[in-house]
Amino acid sequence: MGGILISISQRREHKTNEIIDAAEKVFFSQGFDKTTMENIAAELELTKPALYRYFKNKKDLYYAVILRGTRILSEMMEREVELKNTGLEKILATGIAYCKFYKKYPDYSRLMIIPKTDKQISKDCINLQKLSEYNKNHLKIMCNAIEIGKQDKTIMNDIDTFMTAMYLVESTTAIILLSESLDESFKTLNKNGEDFIQHSLMLMRNSLDNKKEQGNNYENSSFKWKSKG
């Protein structure tokens, strides 16, 4: 009996992943607003009633897709931070992780912006609850880096840890969005969005630096995220 139950569970998990794969493809190509459950069902050659047996609505499926991206971002962030020693370096590493993620996974990045502006969030959505835990962990990583920086005296000691973490996370997201929207303007100046992101990270870093005279070199290798992917 147990083997039968496991087999059923495995089949359902496999089908769920197939649906998420298809939804990911449609969301990436059409965006959240233009995607419908009909589109996703058609991609799978599945009926709508069958699709609804796995996901109750488009938002539920959408959160399942961006949960994948959030997991990748979390792994990248933890890896970047682990490689650094000082608090200031770890803070910068979180920003670099965001930017590397944006560059390598632009489709996920664009989709992941939507929850910040979505006013009708389903509180009982399991995937949304998981996303919330990941987002809390991102803030925790940033807060820990700030506290380490205060202890090792690489950043100013008189700043509010949580408020600073929020500022850094939201500012990095805004910088990435601006880098896209101002792309044409950058071209007229022989610049590009990556130059803007790199310069912005430098300004954010220096705003926290407790020893600014040692850290104002724009060409510092800490900022060289562009060519490494």
Per-residue pLDDT reduced to its tens digit, 96-123: 999 899 889 999 988 887 654 454 555 6
Q: What is the model's pTM? A: 0.80
pLDDT at 229 over 80: no
pLDDT at position 117: 46
pLDDT at 222 over 80: no
User: Which overall architecture, per CATH, does domain 61-228 show?
Assistant: Orthogonal Bundle (1.10)
Beta bridge partners of 209: 155
Percent of the chain with pLDDT over 90: 46
Pick the CATH number of 1-55 from 1.20.120.330, 3.40.50.2300, 1.10.10.60, 3.40.30.10: 1.10.10.60
**Residue ranges of the domains in the chain?**
1-55, 61-228
Cα atoms in the 13 Å half-sphere on the side-chain side of 17: 6
pLDDT at 38 over 50: yes
Identical fold for domains 1-55 and 61-228, yes or no, is no
> Are residues 84 and 126 in contact, defined by beta-carbon separation less than 8 angstroms?
no
Per-residue pLDDT reduced to its tens digit, 154-211: 999 999 999 999 999 889 888 888 887 887 788 888 888 888 888 898 899 889 998 7
Residue 2: what residue type? G
